[in-house]
Amino acid sequence: MISKLALIFLTLSVTSVTLYGQTAGQHDLKVVNSTETYLAAVVADSSNRLVEIKDYVPGIKLDIRYATKNNFTGQVVYSEARAFARLPVALALRSVQAELNRKGLGLKIYDAYRPYSVTVKFFEIATDKSFVASPKTGSRHNRGCAIDLTLIT
């Protein structure tokens, strides 16, 4: 049963999405860089809405590593230890969490939505580029569709 739920979650996590907004610097990736653009994207498609995961997933634990120095950069990258995702991802996480809770397990999140500026910073810092997203394409984290997580008891 967990593997079926995990498959559903992963399918939602890797669904491709359309980004709205202006081109990001020297790259072709279009990013949302204003509240107005974001709100227009949400009006056009409510699945674009970013939500705070803890508001949708009871009992979820957060260990947002980029809000600490305990990450590959050795630097604090996020000013707050919060996790956001697109609404369908948060709802899928809620279903997975409920199933896991019945088995005495739960989820812990290390990272979720990631601002594009952080992707650029990671690419500049990383010596091995195979483990970070290129700013040219961004990542599913930038789109609110990827979660770094683990199972906990």
Would you kindly state where each structural domain of the chain is located, as residue ranges? Answer: 2-152
CA distance 64 to 71: 9
CATH of the domain spanning 2-152: 3.30.1380.10
* Span 33-55, pLDDT tens digits: 889 998 999 999 999 999 999 99
Q: Which two tokens stand for residue 23?
A: 């081109």
* Span 54-89, pLDDT tens digits: 999 999 999 999 999 999 999 999 999 999 999 999
Q: If we measure between CA atoms, which residue out of 146, 110, 152 comes closest to residue 10?
A: 146
φ/ψ region of 138 (left if φ > 0, alpha if ψ in -120 to 50, else beta) reads left
Between these two residues, 138 and 18, which has the higher pLDDT value?
138
